[in-house]
Structure 1
Amino acid sequence: MFNIFGPKIPSPNTNMNRRNFIRNTTLLTAAISGIENPITTSAKNELYKKSSIKVAFISDIHVKPDEVSQAGMRKALRHVNNLKQKPAFIINGGDSIMDALAADKIATQAQWDVWASILNSENKLPVYHCIGNHDIWGWQVKDESIKSDPLYEKNWVISQHSMSGRYYSFTKGRWHFIVLDSTQENNGGYIARLDEEQYQWLENELASVPKDTFICIVSHIPIISFCAAMFLMTCCLMVTGSCRESCSIRMPEESKVCSQNIPTSRHASVVIYTCRTK
């Protein structure tokens, strides 16, 4: 069997290995994507230039009072801040510290002190934070008295990062960023889900974004998963694999969909993305 662009595609009964399959399908994809009208290409490039924004994404730093994690965090932040074409800002995907779920107040404070010290000394860029499960204080601490502490559960991380709330949104240029809180308490542990209040907020937020504005959703735990087809989950339970969240985030207007998050540089716990539109 042949395709119109030249590379031969083996028939189904041909004995081909995985490497050959990937090579051939890559050639086909490249060939198809390469056919563009010069005028169309020029227009797309102009759109990319006007609507693109460069963002550094860091996540799961898990810093603590030790040499290894601190060195890694410093190295990552120095890399981002020393780029010739600096990102507009940093998104922190969560799990900034090693663990606050089962840590007492003294140990948790020590971790946040390390985080704040390194961030203040090594970073000059704006940072938007997302809550990770290990950033939440006390859910696995057996001492019931901590529940009356003003810093209990997510209050500490929200205060530490000076966040407006556990979930929020902001706009940069033609991009609207939505930061979610995907970790909820579950009988002394945690579960990945969006609570009803947050879900209703998300629906309203998506509906209110102008058609010519592009959307990027940030969540510590993935809110849409391929595994949705494999498990019989109720639509309001798990965020990962939930048909409810999947339906809400699916945009009817093509102009709203972010189709390309292209990693352009990787270093330690950092990925630099150039967010482009479809």
Structure 2
Amino acid sequence: LTDVHMQSVVGAAKGFSRCLHHAQSLDSPPDLLINGGDAIMEAHGRNRGSVARQWSLYREVLQLDNSLPVLSCVGNHDIWCREETAAALADGRKWAMDELALTRPYYSLDRNGWHLIMLDSVQANADGSWYTAHLDEAQYEWLAADLKATPANVPVLVVTHIPILAACVFFDGKRYEGQTWNVPGRWMHADARRLVDLFDKHRNVKACLSGHIHLTDRVDYNGVSYYCNGAVSGAWWFGAYQ
């Protein structure tokens, strides 16, 4: 479940509640829920009181309407910052982690025969400015070591907020002009080739889940299925995005 974009208006709380009840009432209910990021409507540029109210409502709906474990990663809208700098991004990420009960921005665990890896794809640019989608070097080295330590017979699921690889990013608005396809670095991982090459060394990486784009697709490439899972909120609770 990704891109909930919780807010106090437009029926967001009721919509999220219905989503949670639907997931838990499936004929084959899930063992856990994955929050793919952007749990709240908007933290960037908002005052602290507004952001705190969004988080409070998100937690309230989860507490009232969900009985399943929840794994989370941080989305760009979850990060409170008044300035578009690396330092502000780091401070805002810490607040989001506290709200999501995360001790680390990226982590892994084993569940029901699968190895689950939750990554943090919202990273500052090398010059310290605002973000693009990629893994910082420390996170990449951790991921490589984590995959190496995972037995080859254990299937791996990777979760990021922003897609590592997606097709829908090419169809969100006018993306082809002047004989060139243009996909912003905030829409899909700038280090996609590096990650695809890493996964190629570990053939037990079976699937990658993401959100962010508010569109759904599935790309099967080099033995890995990449799922962009749309948005619980659709167009931020105003109908379908497209």
Same fold (TM over 0.5): yes
Q: Which runs of 5+ in 2 are unaligned?
A: 170-179, 208-222, 234-242
Corresponding residue SS for 1:88: coil
Q: Give the deviation of 1:221 after TM superposition.
A: 0.5
CA spacing shift, 1:155–1:210, aligned 2, 3 Å? same
Alignment of 1:95 with 2:95, yes or no, is no
Other-structure match for 1:215: 156
Query: How many residues of Structure 1 are paired with residues of Structure 2 in the alignment?
Result: 198
Q: Give the deviation of 1:143 after TM superposition.
A: 11
Corresponding residue SS for 2:54: helix
> Are the equivalent residues in 2 in contact too, given 1:192–1:239 (CA < 8 A)?
yes
Other-structure match for 2:172: none
Q: 1:269 aligns with which of 205, 221, 232?
A: 232
AA aligned to 1:134 is H
Other-structure match for 1:274: none
Structure 2 Cα separation of the partners of residues 69 and 137 of structure 1: 20
Alignment of 1:190 with 2:140, yes or no, is no
Other-structure match for 2:143: 202
Structure 1 Cα separation of the partners of residues 51 and 231 of structure 2: 24
Q: Give the deviation of 1:256 after TM superposition.
A: 5.0
User: Aligned runs of 1:50-89 on 2, under 5 Å?
Assistant: 58-89=1-32
AA aligned to 1:93 is G
Other-structure match for 2:194: 244
Structure 2 Cα separation of the partners of residues 252 and 107 of structure 1: 43
Other-structure match for 1:11: none
1:103-126 CA deviation, whole Å, 9 max, x = no partner? Answer: 111111010011011110000000
User: Aligned runs of 1:110-149 on 2, under 5 Å?
Assistant: 110-138=53-81, 141-142=82-83
Other-structure match for 2:206: 257
AA aligned to 1:169 is S
Q: Give the deviation of 1:188 after TM superposition.
A: 5.2
Structure 2 Cα separation of the partners of residues 220 and 256 of structure 1: 17
Corresponding residue SS for 2:91: coil
Of structures 1 and 2, the one scoring higher in RCO (CA 8 A, sep 6+) is: 2
Alignment of 1:166 with 2:105, yes or no, is yes
AA aligned to 1:208 is A
Structure 2 Cα separation of the partners of residues 121 and 161 of structure 1: 16
Structure 1 Cα separation of the partners of residues 33 and 134 of structure 2: 25
RMSD: 3.3
Structure 1 Cα separation of the partners of residues 190 and 15 of structure 2: 29
Which has the higher mean CA deviation after the structures are superposed, 116-125 or 183-192?
183-192
Q: 2:47 aligns with which of 92, 97, 104?
A: 104
Structure 2 Cα separation of the partners of residues 231 and 153 of structure 1: 32
> Are the equivalent residues in 2 in contact too, given 1:93–1:219 (CA < 8 A)?
yes
Q: Give the deviation of 1:198 after TM superposition.
A: 0.2
Structure 2 Cα separation of the partners of residues 252 and 87 of structure 1: 26
> Are the equivalent residues in 2 in contact too, given 1:212–1:256 (CA < 8 A)?
no
AA aligned to 1:269 is V
> Are the equivalent residues in 2 in contact too, given 1:75–1:268 (CA < 8 A)?
no
> Are the equivalent residues in 2 in contact too, given 1:72–1:268 (CA < 8 A)?
no
Under a length normalisation based on structure 2, what TM-score does the superposition of the two structures give?
0.71
Other-structure match for 1:275: none
Structure 2 Cα separation of the partners of residues 252 and 143 of structure 1: 36
Other-structure match for 1:3: none
Q: Give the deviation of 1:132 after TM superposition.
A: 0.5
Structure 2 Cα separation of the partners of residues 209 and 167 of structure 1: 16
Other-structure match for 1:156: 95
> Are the equivalent residues in 1 in contact too, given 2:20–2:65 (CA < 8 A)?
yes
